[in-house]
């Protein structure tokens, strides 16, 4: 029969042993299911990369100067998005990543998050409703 103290120690050991924060330094790749993960998020949506301890929240588009698809431009332009990144139970930290300008990626706790795509593509017909935006990101550990 287990005593209350023995039971508490077993539960504590089980929780600590399963905690993602116990992964060896530099081994965050072990926390992703099978290598890099690509996520598509709509504005305001949050997701977790596989079994990793990294959560990604797509906060908003802060800049969209991309060339409209029905225009001819000298420069392709840039889209900048603000993400909220949370590592484990830590605070959510805002990061801005871009499609063309630097920074194009954010590094958090051994993870690299790269912005791959911002949709929809702009047209010369007017501004994009912020609720219509979606992004694709790749997370590597």
Across the chain, mean pLDDT equals: 80
Please return the burial class of 58, using the count of CB atoms within 10 Å of its CB with bins 0-12, 13-18 and 19+.
Answer: buried
Going from the N-terminus, what domains does the chain have, and what CATH number goes with each? 24-140 (2.60.98)
Question: For 76-94, how does the pLDDT look when each residue is reduced to its tens digit (9 = 90+)?
Answer: 999 999 999 999 889 999 9
Question: For 53-75, how does the pLDDT look when each residue is reduced to its tens digit (9 = 90+)?
Answer: 899 999 999 999 999 999 999 99
Per-residue pLDDT at 19: 34
Count the neighbouring beta carbons within 10 Å of the beta carbon of residue 134. Answer: 14
> CA of 116: how far to CAs of 10, 23, 26, 80, 104, in Å?
44, 28, 24, 11, 9
pTM for the model stands at 0.74
């Amino acid at each position: 029969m287990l005593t209350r103290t023995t039971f508490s120690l077993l539960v504590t050991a089980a929780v600590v042993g399963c905690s993602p924060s116990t992964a060896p330094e530099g081994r965050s790749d072990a926390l992703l299911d099978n290598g890099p993960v690509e996520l598509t998020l709509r504005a305001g949506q949050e997701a977790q990369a596989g079994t990793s301890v990294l959560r990604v929240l797509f906060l908003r588009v802060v800049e969209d100067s991309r060339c409209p698809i029905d225009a001819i431009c000298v420069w392709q332009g840039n889209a900048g998005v603000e993400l909220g990144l949370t590592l484990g139970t830590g605070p959510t930290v805002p990061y801005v990543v871009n499609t063309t300008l630097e920074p194009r990626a954010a590094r958090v706790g051994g993870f690299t998050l790269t912005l791959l795509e911002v949709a929809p593509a702009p047209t010369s017909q007017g501004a994009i409703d912020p609720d219509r935006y979606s992004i694709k990101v790749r997370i590597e550990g």
